[in-house]
Structure 1
C-alpha cells in the first residue's frame, strides 16, 4: 500500500511541521485494515521494549563500575 504525506506538510510553518513529523496517512479512498493496525501496535511496542531494554543495559553497564569504585574509595 502506498502512503503519502499529509497535505498540510507543505506549509512553511515550522510548528505544523513539528506536529506532523513522520506522520503518514493512507492514500485517499483507502484505509488500514484491522490486521495492519494490530501489526503497527505490535511493531511499535517491540521498538519501545527494545529501546527501554537497551537503555537499562547501558545504565547498568555504566553504574556497576562506578558502584565498585565508590565501594573501594569509601572502604573503612
Structure 2
C-alpha cells in the first residue's frame, strides 16, 4: 500500500492552507497525517478526484525508493 505524506502534497504543489480544511471536511485527522502520513486508499475513499495527483506523487516517490534500495 502507498502511504501519502506531506512531502507528496508539496510535490503536487497543493496549498497546505487549503488542504487542512479539506481533511476536516472529510473527517480525516490532519495532525495524524502530518505525523505519519495516510494510506492512499483512505484518500481515494473520499471520492474526491483532487487526491489523485497527490497519490501519483506518493507512488512515484515509493517507486524511486524501491529503485534506490535495489541498487544497493
Scaled by the length of structure 1, what TM-score is found? 0.38
